[in-house]
Amino acid sequence: MFGMIFYKLKEIRDHKYFFRKCKRCGLYSDVADYPCGHCGKMDEKELFEFLKLREREVEGNNSLGLVFGVIAVVIFLLIMSTFF
């Protein structure tokens, strides 16, 4: 078990898990992947549609996080109201 942990730490130290941000699409990918695995085979129109879809996904995730935050606050207030 400890041998596996030290092996993984050695790999990280040797930068085998090094990622870079693609200048075209803005997503992270392996350094060995050139062109980027996300946008490498896309033309400009496909890239524009991909980035628009990605932006909608990010907005959806943000709104979901806001909903869970509100639910957590409500649950916290309900729990605190039982003590007083």
The DSSP annotation for the chain comes to -HHHHHHHHHHHHTTTT-EEE-TTT--EEETT-SS-TTTTT--HHHHHHHHHHHHHHHHHHHHHHHHHHHHHHHHHHHHHHHH-
Whether residue 51 lies inside any domain: the answer is yes
What pLDDT does residue 23 have? 85
Does residue 16 have a pLDDT over 70? no
Whether residue 6 lies inside any domain: the answer is no
Rounded Cα–Cα distance for residues 44 and 11 (Å): 36
User: What residues make up the domain containing 61?
Assistant: 18-83
Question: Which residue is it, tokens 């050695």?
Answer: 10
Domains identified in the chain, total number: 1
What pLDDT does residue 25 have? 86
Query: For the whole model, what pTM was predicted?
Result: 0.56
Whether residue 1 lies inside any domain: the answer is no
Does residue 45 have a pLDDT over 60? yes
Whether residue 32 lies inside any domain: the answer is yes
